[in-house]
């Protein structure tokens, strides 16, 4: 891929591990971080992450008017709080918080805002692959799509799995603690089901995509599996991803997928 010489001027929502990764790697994608958006009262914490050359604000009215794109690195809360208003101004937004779109009201609000601003909400691929094949397969009839997410005990702490399992004594076996639609998974497990949402959005939707969530005492990483059947044939895909060093809950590949958003926006020859 080749990119133009002028740096892409971007904004970031959030100041966690994924945002830190984007700051460090944006220059490699021909981008410059101009501003960071945080919650009111968190400006000092965000400034410590972004440094003195990045404008930090909780006031969307103070955003630079010429941003090429804003990357939502703050998850569901960041997209809910800031996505519609930014889109409404005509600035595109990219997010890894795909699980938030299980909320029909939020999806409709984002849709209206993007249409009003004549721009787009870009969905980053996040921690999973094979979405290009799944999207192509959805052009024909898809008869079944199943997502299976397997994580170690630490990956399910703070989730409803704690109410169903003793995560401290899982042993050597796998323990399924959820089976249902991708929509139900995304709503019940908002911090754990972004991948299920990505699979649903690429394929046959939130309500028709089956989701299985598993805790595994032997797992050393997060494994994501897709199985699909349809007119195209059959698909099986699995990936075991590593976390970012700064946060065991944040996928390294999800952070990398945000950088590909910048590369794709700059590239003159692209997938």
DSSP letter assigned to residue 207: T
Residue 271 lies in a domain: no
Residue 194 assigned to a binding site: yes
* CATH of residue 94: 3.40.50.720
Tokens, residue 210: 């089956």
Q: Does one domain contain both 51 and 144?
A: no
Q: Does one domain contain both 116 and 57?
A: yes
Cβ 252 vs Cβ 243: under 8 Å? yes
Q: Does one domain contain both 151 and 235?
A: yes
Q: Does one domain contain both 194 and 260?
A: no
Cβ 260 vs Cβ 21: under 8 Å? no
Residue 48 assigned to a binding site: no
pLDDT bin (cut points 50, 70, 90) of residue 267 is confident
Give me the domain span that covers residue 159. 131-247
Q: Does one domain contain both 108 and 141?
A: no
- Give the chain's mean pLDDT: 93
* CATH of residue 216: 3.30.360.10
The answer for residues whose C-beta is within 8 angstroms of residue 220's C-beta and 6 or more apart is 152
Q: Does one domain contain both 165 and 225?
A: yes
Q: Does one domain contain both 60 and 169?
A: no
In whole angstroms, give the CA distance from residue 230 to residue 149: 22
Cβ 258 vs Cβ 22: under 8 Å? yes
pTM: 0.92
Residue 1 lies in a domain: no
Q: pLDDT above 90 covers what percent of the chain?
A: 79
Number of domains making up the chain: 2
| Nearest Cα to Cα of residue 17 among 181, 206, 248 | 248
Distances (CA, A) of 74 to 87, 146, 227: 16, 27, 29
pLDDT in tens, 24-83: 999 999 999 999 999 999 999 999 999 999 999 999 999 998 999 999 999 899 999 999
pLDDT bin (cut points 50, 70, 90) of residue 7 is confident
Count Cα atoms within 13 angstroms, Cβ side, for 192.
29
pLDDT reported for residue 5: 63
Question: With 80 as the cut, is the pLDDT of residue 248 above it?
Answer: no
In whole angstroms, give the CA distance from residue 222 to residue 243: 8
pLDDT reported for residue 171: 81
Q: Catalytic residues, which ones?
A: 224
Residue 2 lies in a domain: no
pLDDT in tens, 137-168: 999 999 999 999 999 988 898 899 999 999 88
pLDDT reported for residue 2: 41
Provide mean pLDDT across the span 127-137. 96
Q: Does one domain contain both 33 and 120?
A: yes
């Amino acid at each position: 891929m080749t990119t133009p010489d002028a740096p892409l001027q971007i904004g970031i929502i959030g100041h966690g591990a994924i945002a830190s990764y984007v700051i460090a790697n944006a220059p490699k994608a021909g981008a410059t971080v101009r501003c960071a958006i945080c919650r009111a009262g968190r400006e000092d914490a965000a400034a410590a992450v972004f440094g003195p050359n990045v404008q930090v604000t909780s006031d969307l009215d103070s955003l630079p008017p010429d941003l090429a794109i804003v990357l939502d690195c703050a998850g569901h809360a960041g997209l809910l709080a800031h996505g519609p208003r930014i889109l409404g101004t005509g600035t595109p937004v990219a997010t890894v918080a795909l699980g938030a779109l299980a909320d029909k009201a939020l999806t409709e609000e984002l849709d209206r805002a993007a249409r009003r601003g004549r721009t787009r909400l870009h969905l980053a691929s996040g921690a999973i692959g094979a979405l290009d094949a799944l999207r192509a397969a959805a052009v024909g009839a898809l008869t079944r799509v199943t997502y299976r997410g397997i994580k170690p005990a630490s990956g399910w702490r703070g989730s409803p799995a704690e109410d169903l399992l003793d995560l401290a004594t899982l042993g050597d076996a796998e323990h399924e603690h959820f089976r249902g639609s991708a929509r139900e998974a995304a709503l019940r497990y908002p911090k754990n089901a972004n991948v299920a949402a990505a699979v649903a959005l690429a394929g046959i939707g939130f309500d028709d995509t089956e989701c299985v969530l598993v805790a595994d005492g032997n797992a050393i990483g997060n494994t994501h599996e897709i199985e699909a059947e349809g007119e195209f044939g059959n698909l099986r895909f699995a990936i075991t991803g590593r976390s970012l060093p700064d946060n065991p809950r944040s996928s390294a590949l999800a952070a990398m997928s945000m950088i590909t958003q910048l590369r794709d926006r700059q590239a003159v020859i692209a997938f």
